């Protein structure tokens, strides 16, 4: 199957290795991956900061960088959910872009959703002999709506032991600019998240969101703790970064 790859700017700038692992995973699943190098930010950061006009400009660019001829797959439920569910609000006065969005909407998928619900992946020939726990990001769970899909994929990895932490769906404290504007609250949230993960004895905290993992790993590095956050794509590729 031919697919278009949507790499959020966050991953492009901070976790390029994860982006390459997404390509590896999709190719392992039998896909031919197409990447448009002109793609940029989907507009979510400026939208969340209240700059809707600027976000609308980026939305227009996104809708011209991608098309509805093949699925669009992304390693971020947060960015994917933003495009799917918030573009109609910021583009409500632009009938041309709304029409383009309507055509793209059913073709846009987060990675685990695509692998489990579209490709119907039943097994995964990768060995990952580690204990892991999974963090449900707020946007992935409550906006995009994935919960079991990442867990199903993790359980397919040979040698992997998935141990659920206490309150896996509690916020990690990132929330975009929230972590900057409300540092004390953010720090308390990420501390609880990491401590819950440590109690499982896991080697790795896995998530679909690199933004959450940046916050989690920042706390881990600061306190020199024996655990690490990695993206789902990194685990599925068998590559630890």
pLDDT in tens, 67-106: 999 999 999 999 999 999 999 999 999 999 999 999 999 9
Answer whether residue 5 shows pLDDT above 80: yes
The boundaries of the domain holding residue 207 are 131-237
d(CA 209, CA 137): 7
pLDDT for residue 37:
96
Domain count for the chain, please give it: 2
7 & 102 share domain: yes
| Domain assignment present for 87 | yes
Domain boundary among 73, 94, 118: 118
| Domain assignment present for 110 | yes
Domain boundary among 86, 118, 150: 118
d(CA 175, CA 139): 9
d(CA 108, CA 95): 20
| Domain assignment present for 52 | yes
For residue 108, what are the β-bridge partners?
72
Residue 13, SS3 per DSSP: helix
What's the predicted TM-score (pTM) here?
0.94
| Domain assignment present for 181 | yes
102 & 143 share domain: no
Answer whether residue 239 shows pLDDT above 80: no
- pLDDT single digits (tens) 25-77: 999 999 999 999 999 999 998 998 899 999 999 999 999 999 999 999 999 99
Beta-carbon contacts of residue 212 (< 8 Å; ≥ 6 apart): 135, 137, 172, 174, 229
Answer whether residue 240 shows pLDDT above 80: no
pLDDT for residue 241:
62
- pLDDT single digits (tens) 163-218: 999 999 999 888 777 777 778 888 899 999 999 999 999 999 999 999 999 999 99
pLDDT for residue 175:
75
d(CA 145, CA 205): 20
- pLDDT single digits (tens) 221-232: 999 999 999 999
| Domain assignment present for 147 | yes
Q: Taking residues 112-127, report their average pLDDT.
A: 97
Helix (H) or strand (E) holding 71: none
| Domain assignment present for 123 | no
114 & 8 share domain: yes
Q: Taking residues 15-20, report their average pLDDT.
A: 95
d(CA 170, CA 142): 11
101 & 41 share domain: yes
């Amino acid at each position: 199957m031919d697919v278009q790859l949507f790499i959020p700017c966050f991953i492009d700038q901070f976790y390029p290795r994860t982006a390459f692992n997404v390509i590896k995973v999709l190719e392992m699943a039998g896909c031919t991956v197409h990447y448009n190098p002109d793609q940029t930010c989907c507009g979510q950061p400026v939208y969340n900061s209240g700059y809707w006009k600027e976000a609308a400009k980026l939305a227009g660019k996104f809708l011209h960088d991608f098309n509805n001829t093949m699925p669009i797959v992304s390693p971020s439920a947060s960015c994917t959910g933003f495009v799917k569910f918030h573009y109609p609000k910021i583009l409500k006065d632009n009938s041309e872009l709304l029409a383009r969005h309507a055509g793209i909407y059913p073709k846009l998928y987060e990675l685990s959703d695509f692998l489990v619900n579209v490709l119907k992946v039943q097994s995964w020939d990768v060995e990952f002999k580690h204990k892991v726990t999974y963090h449900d990001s707020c946007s992935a769970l409550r906006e995009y709506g994935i919960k079991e899909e990442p867990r199903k994929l993790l359980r397919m990895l040979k040698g992997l032991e998935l141990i659920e932490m206490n309150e896996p769906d509690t916020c990690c404290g990132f929330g975009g600019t929230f972590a900057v504007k409300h540092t004390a609250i953010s720090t308390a949230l990420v501390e609880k998240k990491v401590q819950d993960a440590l109690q499982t004895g896991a080697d790795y905290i896995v998530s679909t969101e690199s933004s959450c993992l940046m916050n989690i790993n920042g706390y881990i590095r600061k306190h020199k703790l024996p655990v690490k956050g990695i993206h789902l794509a990194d685990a599925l590729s068998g590559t630890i970064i």
